Amino acid sequence: MSDFDPIVIVGSGLAGYGVARELRRLDKATPLVIVSRDHAGFYSKPMLSNALAGNKTAATLVMKPAEKMAAELGATVRTHSRVQRIDTAAKTIALADGETLAYRDLVLALGADPIRLALDGDAADAVLSVNDLDDYARFAERLEGATRVAVLGAGLIGCEFANDLLARGVTPTVIDLAERPLSRLLPEAASARLRERLEAAGVRFRFGVAASRIDRSAGGLRVTLSDGSTIAADLVLSAIGLRPRTALAQAAGLAVQRGVVVDRWLATSAPNVYAVGDCAEVEGHSLPFVLPLMQQGRALAATLAGTPTPVVYPAMPVTVKTPACPTVVCPPPVDAAGTWRTDLSDDGCAAHFHADDGALLGFAVLGSATTQKQSLAARVAGLIA
């Protein structure tokens, strides 16, 4: 290792490119290499779950190809290069083609894998999930001629896809073991409002049941639920959650819990190795959203440019892209003590989560109440100040 070795970023998602962009604002000289196992085109992943309504294809979702990103960032972008091993003592990474790259600093921006349900049936392997552009291309192709889609999971991404499928004239049936949509993010009355609006738009729900098997049938696929009932579908889309990609870090001996463990400086347990985005767990917080990774990118870029800078998490509301019921949620910290208070009106719903001392710890606003999102966010204390 020498000081002339590059900063190497593994991953070309919003987190990896986010760090690179912020770094180049502060430091135009240090050699920068971005290694990605995919095409490394720049795209906005959140758009995957509202791309059907916008008639987007995987190709039109790419905002900038890898070559353009490389030119803009003054970086080398290695596409279709999978990192297989990290040697933290030698400060090198090994690529799948056998090449070894030395790094001054290494940034892991590896993302997260969709969780797969253990399903029985002869079509269990036909279940799709959409977590990157290639997945979206496959999904869009399989959607041709489909009229019935079973969506596994009524969380944020499941509800967004269900709403988006309506734009294609498809009837989505969303299946979840919970009793209501976004059950981990919204209080009951807000969930009920979201459900009502999505159902009015054409989404069907099956709550309190899980899919147990998927089989081929004469008309397409048959989804068997845990209560023994069945649903006919042309396509099954799984959206039950993501698991941070930690295997590479774990094999290199880095501390790993739910995600790759980092401190407020985004530093892992190995010297000169950092982690950001969906793969990282920052002081116990695993937040797979865009605003946290932007905060991380700014802080880490400053550190890499010579000014050690801890990440700060202000209140970071998440917009749920369900046009049938616009929703913004800023969930209270996990395990926070307090109570939800919900005000419903004909065209909106505002829910506030207060601690016992009256402090506002989180909120959810739906419909016309979404206009309050900024003023509410300003009143919520951040997770990491």
Question: Residues in the site for ligand FAD, rule: CB under 6 A?
Answer: 10-16, 35-38, 45-46, 48-49, 82-83, 109-111, 130-131, 157, 245, 248, 277-278, 288-291, 293, 318-319, 321
Which residue lies nearer to ligand FAD by CB, 107 or 233?
A: 107
Minimum separation from the CB atom of position 213 to ligand FAD (A) = 25
d(CA 244, CA 233): 30
Which residue lies nearer to ligand FAD by CB, 288 or 362?
A: 288
d(CA 287, CA 290): 9
d(CA 41, CA 65): 4
Which residue lies nearer to ligand FAD by CB, 295 or 338?
A: 295
d(CA 9, CA 32): 8
Minimum separation from the CB atom of position 276 to ligand FAD (A) = 7
* CA atoms 360, 366, 368, 373: torsion sign: positive
Structure tokens at 209: 């049941």
Minimum separation from the CB atom of position 113 to ligand FAD (A) = 9
Half-sphere exposure (Cβ direction) of 340: Cα atoms closer than 13 Å: 22
Residue from 190, 181, 191, 127 nearest 154 by CA: 181
Minimum separation from the CB atom of position 230 to ligand FAD (A) = 27
Minimum separation from the CB atom of position 76 to ligand FAD (A) = 14
Going from the C-alpha of 342 to that of each of 186, 190, 359, 378, the distances in angstroms are 10, 8, 16, 19
d(CA 323, CA 346): 17
Which residue lies nearer to ligand FAD by CB, 51 or 349?
A: 51
Which residue lies nearer to ligand FAD by CB, 121 or 282?
A: 282
Minimum separation from the CB atom of position 244 to ligand FAD (A) = 9
Which residue lies nearer to ligand FAD by CB, 208 or 333?
A: 333
Which residue lies nearer to ligand FAD by CB, 5 or 164?
A: 164
Minimum separation from the CB atom of position 132 to ligand FAD (A) = 6
| Other C-beta atoms lying within 10 Å of the C-beta of residue 212 | 16
Which residue lies nearer to ligand FAD by CB, 222 or 267?
A: 267
Minimum separation from the CB atom of position 126 to ligand FAD (A) = 19
Residue 89 Cα to chain centre, angstroms:
31
Minimum separation from the CB atom of position 346 to ligand FAD (A) = 26
Minimum separation from the CB atom of position 310 to ligand FAD (A) = 19
* CA atoms 47, 316, 70, 90: torsion sign: negative
Which residue lies nearer to ligand FAD by CB, 168 or 354?
A: 168
d(CA 351, CA 344): 8
Which residue lies nearer to ligand FAD by CB, 29 or 59?
A: 59
